[in-house]
Amino acid sequence: MEIDIVQQQFREKFGDAPSRVYASPGRVNLIGEHTDYNGSFVFPGAIDKGMVAVIRANGTKKVRAWSVDLQDHAGFTMDETDLPAASWARYIFGVCREIIKRGGSPGGFDTAFAGDVPLGAGMSSSAALESTYAYALNDMFSLGIDRMELARIGQSTEHNYVGVKCGIMDQFISLFGKKGNLIRLDTRNMEYKYFPFHPQGYRLVLLDTVVKHELASSAYNKRRESCERVARLVRDSGYPHVEFLRDVTMDMLLEVKDRTTKEDFMRAKYVVEETERVLVVSDALERDDYETVGRMMYLTHYGMRDLYEVSCEELDFLNDVAKACGVTGSRVMGGGFGGCTINLVKDHLYEGFLARAKEQFARKFGHQPKVYDVVIDDGARRIS
């Protein structure tokens, strides 16, 4: 990450006095997609790409922020009415507001930041930004907030200042990530377990379609509403213990099928099946059975394509190429509607797969997909 550039621009904007540097990562997710707002499991890992921020308390009540990537400035106080116009600045503003709502009192600060997580590629650039500032403000102003609450501060920022009713996966992993480990998180009770991930003979690689869908956030929120509607319906149909779709079995779902829309039923069916798949994958990982992991990844892709309907032509194309090349596992990763596929590839197939994916994708869509090798890294931290 280009820390030097961020530091240099910070000095140009805000002077030479001592400052601190903090960083937080983006993430991959092996399996468990759209399950985190259904009380179910996810399987993410932090990656060696994310956001870095240079920051210094300025002794006022104001925040002055500089986005190195966008070459854009924003200034705001931390009053609720002072919502910045620039959407990137709302993430920082939201983090400040959510800290204040929890009784914390961060002081004003000057900051510059940049990222090397591609925006909108399904690798959680926004959670990386939220976690960077939540972590930095907590540390710099000694607020005494624990990591879990910092993750919730990031999530509430999305809900209240960005308008995405996201789950907790991205913010959680950005704060709790650990080098060489994936984490299985149970989002019902936030219990988590580290899984060392060194698949011998395989590589994990992301192919970025570079497609971003404008309506992704409203479509995301609609998916969540469908899930909540079905969970409510099942609960009111004689299963009072049902809190989330996590608690719903396929038999229970079939009982209410006639009283849901076709669309809601499809959404819920995907979530019930995906919950089962995450458990199959965590068992398989215990015995280094990557063939089973890969099979589940394809099934997740088909579910996200046909039932949850969050894939797109470019992602399906890359998934088909992976299948044709004998790639062990491949699927759309993250919220969907564009972004990346995550691929589990045998070492000896890796080069051939990438060459074919690039060539065929470029022929069809006029540009190559971007390629990111996955390195599983640590969560939020102070760098200097």
Exposed e or buried b per residue across 146-167, where buried means at least 16 C-beta atoms within 10 angstroms of its C-beta: ebebbbbbbbbbbeebbebbbb
- Decide: 307 and 301 in contact? Cβ < 8 Å: no
DSSP output for 103-152: T-----EEEEEEE-SPTTSSS-HHHHHHHHHHHHHHHHTT----HHHHHH
Q: Which is nearer to ligand GLA, 187 or 328 (CB)?
A: 187
Q: Residue 332 Cβ, how far from ligand GLA at the closest point, in Å? A: 10
- Encoding tokens for residue 348? 């000896």
DSSP bridge pairs for 53: 22, 113
Binding residues for ligand GLA, rule: CB under 6 A, are 33-34, 36-37, 124, 166-167, 169-170, 334-335
| H or E element in which residue 223 lies | helix 216-235
Identity of the residue, 124 or 311, whose beta carbon is nearer to ligand GLA in the bound complex: 124
Shortest gap between Cβ of 165 and ligand GLA (angstroms)? 9
How far apart, in whole angstroms, are the C-alpha atoms of residue 56 and residue 62? 12
Q: Closer to ligand GLA at the Cβ: 329 or 335?
A: 335
Q: Determine whether 143 is exposed, middle or buried from the number of CB atoms within 10 Å of its CB (0-12, 13-18, 19+).
A: middle
The angle at the Cα of 338, spanning 121 to 156, to the nearest 5 degrees, equals 60
With tokens 């190429």, the residue in question is: 321
332: which DSSP letter? E
Cβ nearer to ligand GLA, comparing 177 with 335: 335
Residue 373 annotated in active site: no
Question: Considering only CA atoms, which of 205, 175, 146, 151 is closest in space to residue 25?
Answer: 175
CB of 335 to ligand GLA, least distance (A): 3
CA torsion angle for 229, 232, 236, 237 (degrees, to 10)?
70
| Residue with Cβ nearer ligand GLA (66 or 135) | 135
Strand order across the beta sheet in which 109-115 lies:
72-77, 62-67, 109-115, 44-57, 20-29, 381-382
Instruction: Tell me whether residue 294 or residue 336 sits nearer to ligand GLA (CB atom).
Output: 336
Minimal distance in Å, beta carbon 296 to ligand GLA?
Answer: 15
Of residues 248 and 304, the one with the C-beta less far from ligand GLA: 304
Token pair, residue 292, equals 């089973």
In whole angstroms, the minimum distance from the beta carbon of 258 to ligand GLA comes to 29
Taking the complex as a whole, how short is the minimal distance between the CB of residue 36 and ligand GLA, in angstroms?
5
Of 36, 110, 170, 208, which one is the catalytic site residue?
170
Q: What is the closest distance, in whole angstroms, from the C-beta atom of residue 291 to ligand GLA in the complex?
A: 24
The DSSP annotation for 193-211 comes to EEEE---TTEEEEEEEEEE
| CA 174 vs CA 83, 129, 163, 165, 351: distances in Å | 25, 9, 20, 18, 30
Please answer whether residues 122 and 335 qualify as being in contact, where contact means their C-beta atoms are separated by less than 8 angstroms.
yes
Instruction: Please say which residue, 9 or 187, places its beta carbon nearer to ligand GLA.
Output: 187
Minimum gap (Å) between residue 42 Cβ and ligand GLA = 7
Catalytic residues: 170
